[in-house]
Amino acid sequence: MCWGHWKTMNKANDRFLDETLPPKVLLATQRKAGTYLLAAILAELGFQQTYYHINRRKMQAYDPYLMELGLSEPRKFDVRVPLRHSLKLIRHREFAASHLRPSRTIRRMTQNFHIVGCVRDLRTSLMSYARFVATSGRKSDGLAEDIRTRGPVAFIEKLGRREIRQARAYLAWQDQPNAIVLKFEDLMGDPASAIGQLADFLGVQVTDPAAVMARAKARPTLTKSEGYIELDWGEAEEALFQRLGGPAANRALGYAD
Protein backbone atom coordinates (compact mmCIF):
# COMPACT_ATOMS: atom_id res chain seq x y z
CA MET A 1 0.00 0.00 0.00
CA CYS A 2 1.37 3.39 -1.01
CA TRP A 3 0.96 6.46 1.11
CA GLY A 4 0.20 9.65 -0.76
CA HIS A 5 1.07 13.15 0.38
CA TRP A 6 -0.80 13.44 3.67
CA LYS A 7 -1.72 16.71 5.27
CA THR A 8 -3.66 17.33 8.44
CA MET A 9 -7.27 18.39 8.15
CA ASN A 10 -7.08 20.27 11.43
CA LYS A 11 -7.92 23.91 10.68
CA ALA A 12 -9.16 24.77 14.15
CA ASN A 13 -5.77 25.68 15.57
CA ASP A 14 -2.13 26.06 14.62
CA ARG A 15 -0.88 22.71 15.94
CA PHE A 16 -0.12 20.75 12.80
CA LEU A 17 1.35 17.29 12.71
CA ASP A 18 4.30 16.20 10.59
CA GLU A 19 2.92 15.82 7.05
CA THR A 20 5.20 12.85 6.42
CA LEU A 21 3.35 10.73 9.01
CA PRO A 22 0.24 8.72 8.20
CA PRO A 23 -2.80 9.60 10.31
CA LYS A 24 -4.11 8.17 13.51
CA VAL A 25 -7.66 7.04 12.80
CA LEU A 26 -10.74 6.80 14.99
CA LEU A 27 -13.93 5.12 13.83
CA ALA A 28 -16.98 6.98 15.18
CA THR A 29 -19.93 5.07 13.80
CA GLN A 30 -23.63 4.67 14.46
CA ARG A 31 -24.23 1.29 16.06
CA LYS A 32 -24.64 -1.52 13.54
CA ALA A 33 -23.48 0.70 10.69
CA GLY A 34 -20.54 -1.38 9.56
CA THR A 35 -18.08 -0.61 12.35
CA TYR A 36 -16.05 -3.77 11.96
CA LEU A 37 -16.45 -3.93 8.19
CA LEU A 38 -14.81 -0.48 8.16
CA ALA A 39 -12.15 -1.83 10.51
CA ALA A 40 -11.42 -4.61 8.01
CA ILE A 41 -11.26 -2.06 5.18
CA LEU A 42 -8.83 0.09 7.16
CA ALA A 43 -6.66 -2.97 7.74
CA GLU A 44 -6.67 -3.62 3.98
CA LEU A 45 -5.62 0.01 3.45
CA GLY A 46 -2.54 -0.52 5.58
CA PHE A 47 -3.69 0.60 9.04
CA GLN A 48 -3.08 -1.49 12.15
CA GLN A 49 -6.01 -2.69 14.25
CA THR A 50 -5.54 -1.92 17.95
CA TYR A 51 -8.56 -4.04 18.94
CA TYR A 52 -9.63 -1.15 21.18
CA HIS A 53 -13.24 -0.07 21.36
CA ILE A 54 -13.26 3.16 23.30
CA ASN A 55 -15.79 5.43 24.92
CA ARG A 56 -15.68 8.34 27.32
CA ARG A 57 -15.01 6.47 30.57
CA LYS A 58 -13.66 3.07 29.61
CA MET A 59 -12.56 0.88 26.73
CA GLN A 60 -12.70 -2.74 25.67
CA ALA A 61 -9.21 -4.02 24.90
CA TYR A 62 -10.13 -7.11 22.90
CA ASP A 63 -7.87 -10.09 22.39
CA PRO A 64 -7.78 -11.07 18.69
CA TYR A 65 -7.35 -14.71 19.73
CA LEU A 66 -10.56 -14.64 21.80
CA MET A 67 -12.98 -13.21 19.26
CA GLU A 68 -15.93 -15.38 20.25
CA LEU A 69 -15.57 -14.40 23.90
CA GLY A 70 -15.36 -10.75 22.85
CA LEU A 71 -18.62 -11.16 20.98
CA SER A 72 -20.55 -12.77 23.82
CA GLU A 73 -18.92 -11.24 26.91
CA PRO A 74 -17.28 -7.91 26.03
CA ARG A 75 -17.26 -6.79 29.66
CA LYS A 76 -14.48 -9.28 30.33
CA PHE A 77 -12.28 -6.96 28.28
CA ASP A 78 -13.28 -3.75 30.05
CA VAL A 79 -10.51 -1.42 31.16
CA ARG A 80 -11.37 1.71 33.14
CA VAL A 81 -9.45 4.26 31.11
CA PRO A 82 -10.90 7.73 30.45
CA LEU A 83 -10.96 8.94 26.89
CA ARG A 84 -8.16 11.46 27.31
CA HIS A 85 -5.84 8.55 28.12
CA SER A 86 -7.18 5.86 25.78
CA LEU A 87 -6.71 8.15 22.78
CA LYS A 88 -3.02 8.39 23.63
CA LEU A 89 -2.68 4.64 23.07
CA ILE A 90 -3.43 5.00 19.35
CA ARG A 91 -0.32 5.65 17.28
CA HIS A 92 0.19 6.78 13.70
CA ARG A 93 -1.14 4.29 11.15
CA GLU A 94 -3.29 2.66 13.85
CA PHE A 95 -7.02 2.85 14.45
CA ALA A 96 -9.58 2.14 17.14
CA ALA A 97 -13.35 1.75 17.05
CA SER A 98 -15.92 3.85 18.89
CA HIS A 99 -19.48 5.11 18.85
CA LEU A 100 -18.41 8.55 20.04
CA ARG A 101 -20.58 11.51 19.10
CA PRO A 102 -19.03 14.94 18.47
CA SER A 103 -19.54 16.95 21.62
CA ARG A 104 -17.37 20.03 22.04
CA THR A 105 -15.05 18.13 24.40
CA ILE A 106 -14.71 15.14 22.09
CA ARG A 107 -14.03 17.37 19.09
CA ARG A 108 -11.20 19.00 21.01
CA MET A 109 -9.76 15.69 22.19
CA THR A 110 -9.82 14.13 18.71
CA GLN A 111 -8.60 17.11 16.68
CA ASN A 112 -5.36 15.34 15.74
CA PHE A 113 -7.15 12.22 14.48
CA HIS A 114 -8.76 11.43 11.19
CA ILE A 115 -12.36 10.55 12.10
CA VAL A 116 -14.24 8.03 9.98
CA GLY A 117 -17.97 8.06 10.65
CA CYS A 118 -20.71 5.91 9.16
CA VAL A 119 -24.50 6.10 9.38
CA ARG A 120 -27.23 3.69 8.33
CA ASP A 121 -30.97 3.67 7.72
CA LEU A 122 -32.51 3.31 11.16
CA ARG A 123 -34.91 0.49 10.38
CA THR A 124 -32.11 -1.72 9.12
CA SER A 125 -29.69 -0.72 11.87
CA LEU A 126 -32.27 -1.43 14.58
CA MET A 127 -33.08 -4.77 12.98
CA SER A 128 -29.39 -5.65 12.74
CA TYR A 129 -28.86 -4.70 16.39
CA ALA A 130 -31.87 -6.77 17.47
CA ARG A 131 -30.57 -9.81 15.54
CA PHE A 132 -27.14 -9.31 17.10
CA VAL A 133 -28.51 -9.19 20.67
CA ALA A 134 -30.85 -12.14 20.08
CA THR A 135 -27.95 -14.23 18.78
CA SER A 136 -25.17 -13.17 21.13
CA GLY A 137 -27.10 -12.40 24.32
CA ARG A 138 -24.89 -9.32 24.47
CA LYS A 139 -27.18 -6.99 26.47
CA SER A 140 -28.71 -9.65 28.71
CA ASP A 141 -30.02 -13.16 28.37
CA GLY A 142 -33.48 -11.86 29.30
CA LEU A 143 -33.58 -9.36 26.45
CA ALA A 144 -32.19 -11.89 23.98
CA GLU A 145 -34.92 -14.37 24.91
CA ASP A 146 -37.59 -11.63 24.72
CA ILE A 147 -36.46 -10.73 21.20
CA ARG A 148 -36.48 -14.38 20.13
CA THR A 149 -40.02 -14.73 21.52
CA ARG A 150 -41.63 -11.41 20.56
CA GLY A 151 -39.46 -10.18 17.72
CA PRO A 152 -37.60 -6.88 17.19
CA VAL A 153 -40.35 -4.92 18.94
CA ALA A 154 -38.91 -6.13 22.26
CA PHE A 155 -35.55 -4.60 21.37
CA ILE A 156 -37.09 -1.33 20.15
CA GLU A 157 -39.10 -1.04 23.38
CA LYS A 158 -35.90 -1.39 25.40
CA LEU A 159 -33.32 0.51 23.36
CA GLY A 160 -35.04 2.07 20.36
CA ARG A 161 -35.58 5.53 21.84
CA ARG A 162 -31.90 5.82 22.76
CA GLU A 163 -30.68 4.57 19.39
CA ILE A 164 -32.98 6.87 17.43
CA ARG A 165 -32.07 9.89 19.56
CA GLN A 166 -28.35 9.26 19.27
CA ALA A 167 -28.30 8.46 15.56
CA ARG A 168 -28.69 12.09 14.47
CA ALA A 169 -25.59 13.05 16.43
CA TYR A 170 -23.22 10.88 14.37
CA LEU A 171 -23.97 12.88 11.23
CA ALA A 172 -22.61 16.00 12.95
CA TRP A 173 -19.10 14.66 12.39
CA GLN A 174 -19.41 15.76 8.77
CA ASP A 175 -19.11 19.37 9.94
CA GLN A 176 -15.63 18.63 11.27
CA PRO A 177 -12.70 19.35 8.92
CA ASN A 178 -10.86 16.24 10.16
CA ALA A 179 -13.77 13.85 9.57
CA ILE A 180 -15.58 11.99 6.82
CA VAL A 181 -19.03 10.44 7.20
CA LEU A 182 -20.01 7.58 4.90
CA LYS A 183 -23.35 5.84 4.46
CA PHE A 184 -23.39 2.10 5.06
CA GLU A 185 -25.61 1.68 2.01
CA ASP A 186 -23.04 3.42 -0.21
CA LEU A 187 -20.28 1.29 1.24
CA MET A 188 -22.18 -1.88 0.33
CA GLY A 189 -23.79 -0.67 -2.90
CA ASP A 190 -20.91 1.23 -4.48
CA PRO A 191 -17.74 0.12 -2.67
CA ALA A 192 -15.44 1.40 -5.40
CA SER A 193 -16.66 4.96 -4.91
CA ALA A 194 -16.98 4.82 -1.09
CA ILE A 195 -13.58 3.21 -0.53
CA GLY A 196 -12.06 5.60 -3.04
CA GLN A 197 -13.38 8.53 -0.99
CA LEU A 198 -12.08 6.97 2.20
CA ALA A 199 -8.63 6.30 0.71
CA ASP A 200 -8.39 9.89 -0.56
CA PHE A 201 -9.38 11.20 2.86
CA LEU A 202 -6.68 9.11 4.55
CA GLY A 203 -4.00 9.92 1.99
CA VAL A 204 -3.73 6.34 0.78
CA GLN A 205 -3.29 5.34 -2.85
CA VAL A 206 -5.47 2.38 -3.82
CA THR A 207 -5.81 1.06 -7.35
CA ASP A 208 -8.65 -1.45 -6.92
CA PRO A 209 -11.21 -0.43 -4.25
CA ALA A 210 -13.53 -3.29 -5.20
CA ALA A 211 -10.78 -5.81 -4.43
CA VAL A 212 -10.18 -4.08 -1.10
CA MET A 213 -13.85 -4.58 -0.23
CA ALA A 214 -13.79 -8.25 -1.29
CA ARG A 215 -10.79 -8.95 0.94
CA ALA A 216 -12.32 -6.97 3.83
CA LYS A 217 -15.55 -8.98 3.67
CA ALA A 218 -13.52 -12.20 3.80
CA ARG A 219 -11.79 -11.18 7.04
CA PRO A 220 -13.12 -12.52 10.35
CA THR A 221 -14.55 -9.63 12.38
CA LEU A 222 -15.90 -9.21 15.89
CA THR A 223 -19.57 -8.75 14.98
CA LYS A 224 -19.94 -10.32 11.54
CA SER A 225 -23.66 -10.88 10.96
CA GLU A 226 -23.44 -14.25 9.23
CA GLY A 227 -25.39 -16.85 11.18
CA TYR A 228 -27.47 -14.38 13.18
CA ILE A 229 -31.04 -15.26 14.09
CA GLU A 230 -33.50 -14.16 11.39
CA LEU A 231 -36.16 -11.64 12.43
CA ASP A 232 -38.95 -9.81 10.62
CA TRP A 233 -39.96 -6.15 10.78
CA GLY A 234 -43.75 -6.08 11.11
CA GLU A 235 -46.60 -3.78 12.01
CA ALA A 236 -45.74 -3.66 15.73
CA GLU A 237 -42.15 -2.63 15.01
CA GLU A 238 -43.22 0.00 12.47
CA ALA A 239 -45.86 1.50 14.78
CA LEU A 240 -43.35 1.83 17.62
CA PHE A 241 -40.71 3.23 15.25
CA GLN A 242 -43.16 5.89 14.11
CA ARG A 243 -44.14 6.73 17.68
CA LEU A 244 -40.49 7.16 18.72
CA GLY A 245 -39.76 9.65 15.93
CA GLY A 246 -37.82 7.25 13.73
CA PRO A 247 -38.93 8.68 10.36
CA ALA A 248 -37.85 12.23 11.28
CA ALA A 249 -34.47 10.94 12.49
CA ASN A 250 -34.07 8.98 9.25
CA ARG A 251 -34.72 12.12 7.21
CA ALA A 252 -32.13 13.98 9.27
CA LEU A 253 -29.62 11.26 8.38
CA GLY A 254 -30.36 11.78 4.69
CA TYR A 255 -32.76 8.90 4.08
CA ALA A 256 -36.10 9.33 2.35
CA ASP A 257 -38.87 7.90 4.47
Q: Mean pLDDT across the stretch 181-208?
A: 94
For residue 39, give the nearest of 168, 175, 223 by alpha carbon.
223
Instruction: Give the span between the Cα atoms of 101 and 108, in whole angstroms.
Output: 12
Read off the DSSP letter of residue 203: T
Strands 59-61 and 48-54: antiparallel
Give the pLDDT score at 5.
43
Q: Write out the E strands in the chain.
A: 2-3, 25-29, 48-54, 59-61, 78-79, 94-98, 114-119, 179-183, 204-205
Q: What does the pLDDT average to over 182-193?
A: 94
State mean pLDDT over 180-206. Answer: 94
Residue 150 clears pLDDT 50, i.e. is over it: yes
Q: Over 50: is that where the pLDDT of 241 sits?
A: yes
- Quick one: pLDDT at residue 168? 84
Average pLDDT for 151-162: 96
C-alpha pair distances (Å), 157 with each of 96, 115, 128, 153, 231: 30, 31, 15, 6, 16
pLDDT class of 3 with cuts at 50, 70, 90? very low
Q: What is the pLDDT of residue 156?
A: 97
The whole-angstrom distance between residue 208's C-alpha and the CA centroid of its chain comes to 23
Residue 18, pLDDT score:
52
For residue 168, the number of C-alpha atoms closer than 13 Å in the C-beta half-sphere is 12
pLDDT on residue 8: 42
- Kindly report the average pLDDT of the chain as a whole number: 88
Asked whether 157 and 135 are in contact (CB, 8 A), the reply is no
Report the alpha-carbon distance of residue 91 to residue 113 in Å, rounded: 10
Distance CA 127, CA 80 (A): 30
* Phi, psi angles (nearest 5°) of residue 181: -120, 120
d(CA 73, CA 76): 6
Q: pLDDT tens across 50-76, in order?
A: 999 999 999 999 988 887 787 778 888
74-132 pLDDT per residue, tens: 888 999 999 999 999 999 999 999 999 999 999 999 999 999 999 999 999 999 999 99
Residue 72 has a pLDDT of 74
Distance between CA atoms of residues 171 and 15, nearest Å: 26
Q: What is the pLDDT of residue 16?
A: 41
Question: What does the pLDDT average to over 170-176?
Answer: 90
